[in-house]
């Protein structure tokens, strides 16, 4: 309220301001006390660590893990290798130590030495061997060759059959020696680690002999950590080689850990191979793991052990390996040479035409038959090589008078009016035409044109030709005339004056030749009678005692007194 004549505001007095502030503090304190009455006093504290100290243990992470009991296997770090082989039938081999025949000689050799005989890309140690004698242990088949049989001793086996089947497990001696679908690769391990995706160690421990490994008792062999090698396969049929570095009782894996690890990686069946100091991995000819054996020349260093068999991964083999001798095997495929084709280079092929049935296909290509040339034997000698025949069309045709030459054997197909081996002669008198098979039809003469058969010719045959062929000509005319006489009632004069001249001359000529020949024969007979000598042989009487002096002397027709 404002009074007239007075200008005063409430609260402007300092005392009043102090009172007002105190009132505010009291109200605030009351509110705070009212709220805090709902919270705990925190007087029952349970802390794992001392108050006002750092939360958590003072141990390292490694110490904390070491304190934990092992239930499903503890975590550890190891170094190893996986090798996957997609075509083990053609890409995997078991090698004897030091090359073929090594087991029979009780040889041992490092993996690096043995793989020189197998061209291996990846190689590991294989089966077990005697540390005393070096002899190989167990069943061994190397590239289809049975190296040795274990005589039925049962340890876990791994092998590959001829049809490509992978075998894991235990085998009888009969199965090892089977000849129908035999083993092409086989070796023995110790302990069947996985069977159909299940850890099989306990069953193997109960079944297998414990004399093969030399680490100690069988349980210790299974449970001790060490370097390990194994072989197995996955669901895709790939062969798997496993290797892990280590040293017995110091680092590495035990067989339980190996089996479970392989199972986690999708391996279905697996067999344990030689391990410890024998565990060796070589890639492209170079040692690629850390051996656990100390070197003999200086124990400060580590060296790979001389071992027995080796498992080898190489380029795929061809079938057959030598490509039938007609090619080179490259990455499992035959690269054929020359004109050989097919997966085994066993088929000769000279292209789609294949010599056109006019030649033989050889390693050097088509060898054409006579009368044919060209890469595919598709060109005959006649086409573009007229006048030649035979092999390679190199022989010149001998045919004359525009006659046709056979392009294969050079035989002549004579033109009309010609005959002879090379068609060098005209038709005989009285004949003409193709093959000289047609008789002349001229009146009162036996000759005609040798090609057309025309009787109107300007040149008469030469006398010498008439003399040599008159017989044939006369025979033709005579037969023709007789044939005509049978069909005619009028008399026909068979022989013309010119014909009588020819006949008379011929008969006279033959008479002279006959007389000369007879005179020569008589003369030669007389000469032989004058110059001949005769010898006589002794005649014996019945009693065989008669001898006549001089009876054996030859008689000479010119001797005096005879």
Give this prediction's pTM.
0.56
What's the confidence (pLDDT) of residue 183?
97
What's the confidence (pLDDT) of residue 8?
37
Q: Rounded to an integer, what distance in angstroms lies between the CA atom of residue 290 and that of residue 502?
A: 120
Q: Rounded to an integer, what distance in angstroms lies between the CA atom of residue 335 and that of residue 344?
A: 9
CA distances from 474 to 96, 183, 438, 490, 504 (A): 98, 92, 16, 21, 13
User: What is the side-by-side strand order in the sheet with 228-234?
Assistant: 80-85, 239-244, 228-234, 267-272, 192-195, 198-199
In sequence order, the β-bridge partners of residue 244 are: 80, 228
The CB density around residue 440, as the number of other CB atoms within 10 Å, is 23
What's the confidence (pLDDT) of residue 142?
96
The CB density around residue 411, as the number of other CB atoms within 10 Å, is 14
Torsion of CA 456, 460, 466, 471, to 10 degrees: 10
What's the confidence (pLDDT) of residue 384?
46
What's the confidence (pLDDT) of residue 230?
98
In sequence order, the β-bridge partners of residue 387 are: none
Tokens describing residue 61: 């992470």
pLDDT < 70 regions, the chain: 1-21, 23-74, 209-216, 383-386, 458-496, 525-562
H/E run at residue 378? none
Residues 6+ apart with CB under 8 A from 503: 470, 474, 495
What's the confidence (pLDDT) of residue 541?
47
CA 26 to centroid of chain Cα atoms: 108
What's the confidence (pLDDT) of residue 49?
43
Q: Rounded to an integer, what distance in angstroms lies between the CA atom of residue 193 and that of residue 156?
A: 9
Q: Is 392 helix (H, G, I), strand (E, B) or coil?
A: helix
What's the confidence (pLDDT) of residue 41?
46
How long, in residues, is the chain? 562
In the chain, where the domains are located: 79-314
Q: Rounded to an integer, what distance in angstroms lies between the CA atom of residue 474 and that of residue 456?
A: 20
């Amino acid at each position: 309220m404002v009074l007239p004549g007075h200008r005063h505001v409430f609260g402007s007095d300092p005392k009043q301001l102090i009172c007002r502030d105190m009132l505010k503090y009291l109200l605030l304190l009351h509110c705070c006390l009212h709220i805090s009455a709902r919270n705990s006093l925190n007087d029952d504290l349970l802390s794992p660590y001392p108050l006002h100290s750092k939360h958590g243990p003072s141990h390292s992470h490694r110490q904390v893990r070491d304190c934990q009991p092992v239930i499903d296997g503890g975590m550890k770090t190891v170094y190893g290798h996986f090798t996957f082989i997609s075509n083990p039938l053609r890409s995997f081999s078991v090698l004897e130590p030091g090359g073929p025949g090594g087991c029979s000689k009780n040889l041992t050799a490092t993996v690096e030495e043995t793989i020189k005989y197998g061209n291996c890309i990846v190689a590991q140690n294989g089966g077990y061997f005697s540390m005393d004698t070096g002899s190989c242990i167990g069943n061994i088949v190397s590239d289809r060759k049975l190296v040795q049989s274990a005589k039925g001793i049962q340890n876990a086996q791994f092998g590959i059959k001829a049809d490509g089947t992978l075998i894991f497990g235990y085998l009888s001696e009969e199965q090892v020696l089977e000849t129908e679908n035999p083993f092409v690769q086989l070796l023995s391990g110790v302990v069947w680690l996985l069977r159909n995706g299940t850890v099989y160690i306990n069953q193997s421990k109960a079944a297998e002999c414990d004399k093969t490994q030399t680490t100690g008792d069988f349980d210790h062999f299974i449970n001790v950590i060490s370097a390990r090698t194994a072989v197995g396969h996955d669901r895709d049929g790939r062969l798997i080689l496993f290797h892990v570095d280590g040293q017995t009782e110091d680092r590495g894996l035990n067989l339980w850990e190996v089996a479970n690890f392989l199972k986690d990686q999708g391996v279905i069946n697996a067999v344990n191979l030689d391990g410890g100091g024998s565990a060796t991995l070589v890639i492209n000819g170079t040692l690629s793991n850390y051996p656990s054996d100390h070197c003999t020349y200086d124990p400060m260093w580590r060296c790979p052990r001389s071992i027995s068999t080796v498992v080898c991964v190489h380029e795929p083999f061809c079938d057959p390996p030598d490509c039938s001798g007609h090619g080179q095997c490259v990455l499992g495929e035959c690269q054929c040479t020359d004109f050989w084709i097919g997966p085994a280079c066993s088929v000769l092929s000279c292209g789609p035409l294949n010599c056109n049935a006019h030649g033989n296909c050889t390693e050097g290509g088509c060898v054409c038959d006579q009368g044919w040339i060209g890469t595919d034997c598709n060109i005959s000698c006649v086409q573009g090589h007229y006048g030649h025949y035979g092999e390679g069309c190199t022989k010149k045709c001998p045919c004359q008078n525009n006659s046709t030459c056979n392009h294969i054997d050079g035989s002549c197909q004579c033109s009309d009016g010609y005959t002879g081996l090379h068609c060098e002669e005209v038709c005989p008198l009285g004949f003409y035409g193709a093959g000289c098979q047609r008789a002349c039809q001229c009146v009162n003469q036996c000759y005609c044109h040798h090609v057309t058969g025309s009787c109107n010719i300007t040149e008469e045959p030469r006398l010498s030709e008439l003399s040599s062929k008159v017989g044939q000509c006369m025979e033709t005319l005579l037969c023709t005339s007789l044939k005509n006489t049978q069909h005619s009632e009028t008399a026909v004069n068979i022989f013309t004056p010119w014909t009588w001249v020819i006949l008379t001359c011929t008969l006279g000529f033959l008479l002279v030749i006959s007389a000369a020949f007879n005179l020569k024969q008589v003369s030669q007979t007389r000469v032989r009678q004058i110059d001949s000598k005769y010898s006589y042989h002794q005649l014996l009487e019945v009693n065989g005692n008669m001898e006549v002096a001089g009876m054996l002397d030859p008689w000479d027709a010119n001797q005096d007194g005879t």
